[in-house]
Structure 1
Amino acid sequence: MERLGHHLLHFDDHYLREESSKNYGMALRAFYEICPYGRFAHLATNFAILESLPCDVQVIHIIDFDVGEGEQWPALLAVLNHRISVKLSVIHCKEVKKTRNNLCSFACSIGLSLQVEEIEMEELLLMFDRTVNENEWFVFNCMVGLPHMGEPKRRRQVLEFTRVAEKVVTSYKGIGMISYGEGFGSRLKPFSDDHLVSSHALFESLEWHFPSHLSLARTTMECLFVGPCVSLIDFVEDFEPFCGHGLRECRVSKERLMEVKEMVMKGRDEPYEIKVNGYCENEMVLEWRGTPMVRLYTWR
């Protein structure tokens, strides 16, 4: 709690932000491999995408709200391999050129046809002012506030993206799906009780993953990556998550649940728990000792 309080009270430390940005790439990869939050979100979502694909689809078109370093997509591309062509449209971000090059290089190495394009939010709806190809499957993917994502998107951008996704999927029945994931930071006010509880759980889980002889490495990770990310949750006042009204829920299959549990638990008795919620069981939640950390939803 003392370490958490320190980071929350120094969220405007310019020097710490600068140092964090210099080491962001390496710290992200380390955190992604150590803690299961990002891998849970990506594996569960990719599994849902594969389950949704009609057998006659020739092109899968993914519209990604926040592609980041692109860490979600190589696993999906590897599974698709030669079966299908993939088009990835990403909303404009500063790292998109590097991410595009990395993903295209990976796709080339496995012989997959991949096209990556960058679009502005304003162009999103214009993409569908045409006749939709019946052999093309659209995936609107929106991840918000996951612990590894760093600088968050603004609430207005999230709402714009999800509204367009909902409009397209409801207007053109049977052409695609929506995957929506949110971390604990996506709708919490800084210094609120819920924020403190969830941030404490994040620090506690990170400490659990580091044995005592690696305490210096854990402290470095907290100072240069986790702490600054926790303190960035001041943009989300009155944030309301996307609810998917008017869409058909995609029930979490037993196969998807077992696959994700195997990845998170690794056959051991760990303090994580995965639950399936929602009236139609389309919500999957990853908890740390009873504290919800990541929620995932899917609709068609």
Structure 2
Amino acid sequence: MMQSENLPLSWPFDGLMDSSINHLDSSEISSVSDFDRMLFDEIFRHPAYDFDDQVQVTVPWEEFSVPLVGLDSMLTDAVGEERQDVWSPCLSSEASISMTTEQSSLAMPYLGEAMMETDNQLALFHLFTAYGEAKENNQTELAEVILRSVSEKASPVGETLERIAFNLSSQDVRNQRDYLLQKSSGNFEVAFKAFYQIFPYGRFAHFAANSAILDAMPNNSDPLHIVDFDIGSGIQWPPLIEAMAMQHKTVRLTSIRWGEEGYGHSPWRFNDTKLQLCHHARSFGLNLKLEEMGIEDLANELDGMKKRGGSREWLAFNCMVGLPHMGENKNRKLVNSFLAVAKQLLARNRGIITLGDGDACEKLKDCSGFGAFFDGQLSHYRAITESMESDIAKHLVQARMAMECLFIGPNICAQAWFQKWEQVNETRRFEATTMEGLKVSRERLTEAKEMVSGRENSYEVRIGGNSGNELALAWRGNALVKVSCWRN
């Protein structure tokens, strides 16, 4: 059984900082770069970082056509003086703020500010509902007008619905959104480290899948052959590699190579991931065989091995899709193709399927129309955005904005949601009817709950699935991540 304390990973970051972080003196802390320093309070709780990356997340205000709202004390000039051209975080983006206006806004009663925020949120709520209905009724021109109204109330650092509106809205703010994404992308690696470590979504899904693989694998099986739908940075596998090394077993890891069509651009290069994973495995005395191939080539190879007398390999087909740290969601048709091949191969071989799903699309298949589907997507991303707010210090607005731009924003798009709705009936729900659901053990449930203990009480870990084979992470009743497992 894999222990939960192994899960806050240092991967893919070199230089695991164990207890040494507790001995940093003030001179060492002062050398930390701006972005790292903004995240220092959060990272201090998770000592799995080095601070070698010298990065800075800034937005050149003189080039940005609409000033950003509420960047607080992080907006400083070269001599450390607070900028004076910052909009008040309480005001609508429709206003034109001068110093006089800003000073007067600070004197407004708090109740007045709260009412303005509430009015903007309520207006957005009604606009979202109207947009969904207009698209459902094929009122294209009306939908475009509504989306422009949404743009007028959008802000990348406003309240939750305002930030969702900023990513969702029309071309009026799309250039500004793309500009923020471009600037944030320069700090992708350090933002990825922070996102994965601070927020529980990816670590929860990876723990649930890895522990299920270790639970299900027979003691006499060797080697373990992992087939990964989307290996990305490889961040899921170091704890499992360490566990297998302790059992003196070998691991073969196959990353599925997909074509560009329907898959999108990945920020990770397979050769880099391969080098890092193999180096990590060698440091634990495990000789890892890591390769990349197409799903059909893999199926042909495994069938050939079966005909030649079989193999002692125990197969683990792993599919992670729609997890927030993964950025833009992959095409569901590819997911279904991977799962269908996995099911076919496991009818003739021993193994397990682990499916970690953070995409709202799958649970919205039974919606009566696009309006309900659209509302479901909004609820899902609102829950993610609010849970992020609860896990990161309120004054780290700029850092949170960068992470939202990189990992959440790409999946919030009105046009993409409508395309998903049009395709939703073409992608059937995966059913492993010929396989046994791997029931979540009490130990796995307890350790998963420990991962979110000490956080906002709004997090919930629960068991689902027809056979109790699903472990889910929810926020205020909204499922953010579900991990289901089946074995033959």
Task: Decide: shared fold, TM above 0.5.
Answer: yes
TM-score of the two chains, using structure 2 as the length reference: 0.57
Q: Shift in Å at residue 25 of structure 1?
A: 2.5
CA contact under 8 A between 1:66 and 1:142: conserved in structure 2?
Answer: yes
**CA–CA separation in structure 2 for the residues paired with 1:10 and 1:59:** 52
1:88 partnered with 2:253 = yes
Counterpart residue identity of residue 98, structure 1: D
- Aligned-residue sequence identity (percent) comes to 40
1:252 partnered with 2:434 = no
What's the CA shift string for 1:151-191, capped at 9, x where partnerless? Answer: 3222221121111000011233xx11110111034536898
Q: Shift in Å at residue 131 of structure 1?
A: 3.4
Could you tell me which residue of structure 2 aligns to residue 115 of structure 1?
289
CA contact under 8 A between 1:20 and 1:228: conserved in structure 2?
Answer: no
Could you tell me which residue of structure 1 aligns to residue 107 of structure 2?
none
For residue 356 of structure 2, the aligned residue among 181, 191, 196 is 181
**CA–CA separation in structure 2 for the residues paired with 1:62 and 1:288:** 30
- Greater CA radius of gyration, 1 or 2? 2
SS in 2 for 1:129: helix
For residue 49 of structure 1, the aligned residue among 208, 213, 228 is 213
Q: Shift in Å at residue 142 of structure 1?
A: 0.6
For residue 312 of structure 2, the aligned residue among 107, 122, 135 is 135
**CA–CA separation in structure 2 for the residues paired with 1:225 and 1:246:** 36
SS in 2 for 1:287: strand
1:153 partnered with 2:357 = no
1:209 partnered with 2:391 = yes
Q: Which moved more, 1:229-238 or 1:51-60?
A: 229-238
Counterpart residue identity of residue 359, structure 2: F
Q: Shift in Å at residue 28 of structure 1?
A: 1.9
Could you tell me which residue of structure 1 aligns to residue 461 of structure 2?
274
Q: Which moved more, 1:58-67 or 1:24-33?
A: 24-33
Could you tell me which residue of structure 1 aligns to residue 232 of structure 2?
68
Could you tell me which residue of structure 1 aligns to residue 452 of structure 2?
264
Q: Shift in Å at residue 299 of structure 1?
A: 0.4
CA change 1:20–1:159 in 2 (3 A) is: farther
1:6 partnered with 2:166 = yes
What's the CA shift string for 1:137-159, capped at 9, x where partnerless? Answer: 10000111111111322222112
CA contact under 8 A between 2:329 and 2:359: conserved in structure 1?
Answer: no
Q: Which moved more, 1:4-13 or 1:271-280?
A: 4-13
Could you tell me which residue of structure 2 aligns to residue 199 of structure 1?
381
Q: Shift in Å at residue 20 of structure 1?
A: 4.5
CA change 1:224–1:129 in 2 (3 A) is: closer
- Report 1:285-296 matches (<5 A): 285-296=472-483
**CA–CA separation in structure 1 for the residues paired with 2:184 and 2:453:** 30
Cα RMSD after superposing both structures: 2.3
Q: Which has the higher strand share?
A: 1
Could you tell me which residue of structure 1 aligns to residue 99 of structure 2?
none
Q: Shift in Å at residue 240 of structure 1?
A: 3.9
1:170 partnered with 2:347 = yes
Counterpart residue identity of residue 275, structure 1: R
**CA–CA separation in structure 1 for the residues paired with 2:381 and 2:191:** 18
**CA–CA separation in structure 2 for the residues paired with 1:186 and 1:127:** 33
Structure 1 residue ranges, 4+ long, deviating more than 6 angstroms after superposition: none
TM-score of the two chains, using structure 1 as the length reference: 0.91
Q: Shift in Å at residue 265 of structure 1?
A: 1.8
CA change 1:91–1:20 in 2 (3 A) is: farther
CA change 1:20–1:121 in 2 (3 A) is: farther
**CA–CA separation in structure 2 for the residues paired with 1:205 and 1:119:** 37
**CA–CA separation in structure 2 for the residues paired with 1:85 and 1:155:** 32
Q: Shift in Å at residue 134 of structure 1?
A: 4.5
Counterpart residue identity of residue 45, structure 1: A
Counterpart residue identity of residue 74, structure 1: P
Could you tell me which residue of structure 2 aligns to residue 27 of structure 1?
191
What's the CA shift string for 1:59-112, capped at 9, x where partnerless? Answer: 000000001111100011111114210000001266211111110111111111
Counterpart residue identity of residue 291, structure 1: N
**CA–CA separation in structure 2 for the residues paired with 1:193 and 1:124:** 40
What's the CA shift string for 1:208-236, capped at 9, x where partnerless? Answer: 11222222322232234322344496464
For structure 2, list consecutive stretches of 5 or more residues without a partner in the other structure.
1-160, 259-265, 365-369
CA contact under 8 A between 2:459 and 2:474: conserved in structure 1?
Answer: yes
CA contact under 8 A between 2:465 and 2:484: conserved in structure 1?
Answer: no
**CA–CA separation in structure 2 for the residues paired with 1:16 and 1:104:** 35
CA contact under 8 A between 2:191 and 2:402: conserved in structure 1?
Answer: no
